Amino acid sequence: MKNPFKREGHTALIAVLALASAAAGATAFLYLTEKGKETRKTLKKKIKGIANDAAVKAVSKKTKIPKRAVKTVADQVAK
């Protein structure tokens, strides 16, 4: 029989619920408000820039082509 006075740790459950609540709030903000629409556009541009830079570094490192040349081509392709 279980001891009714023994405490069970629910720390992980509480942490998961807090994280899920924060994620739901952020998602609601991004998709349900006008300012969220602007924020999504800004985030999209930043993410594309980061991905472009990472691709330029990877291609330049593997092919030994200068980063400047790879970036020029990548910018043309991204348009």
pLDDT band at 9 (very low <50, low <70, confident <90, very high): confident
Query: Would you say residue 31 lies in a domain?
Result: yes
pLDDT tens digits along 18-70: 999 999 999 999 999 899 989 999 999 999 889 989 989 998 888 888 888 88
Residue 6, in any domain of the structure: no
Domain with 62 in it: 11-78
The residues, any chain, with a CB within 8 Å of residue 57's CB and separated by 6 or more, are 67
Q: Report whether pLDDT(1) > 70.
A: no
Q: Are 50 and 78 in contact (CB under 8 A)?
A: no
In a domain, 53, yes or no: yes
User: Does 5 map to a domain?
Assistant: no
Among candidates 49, 46, 71, which has minimal Cα distance to 60? 71
Q: Is residue 17 part of a domain?
A: yes
For residue 57, give the H/E element and its range. helix 34-63
Domain count, the chain: 1
Model pLDDT, residue 72: 86
- Can you give the pLDDT at residue 40? 92
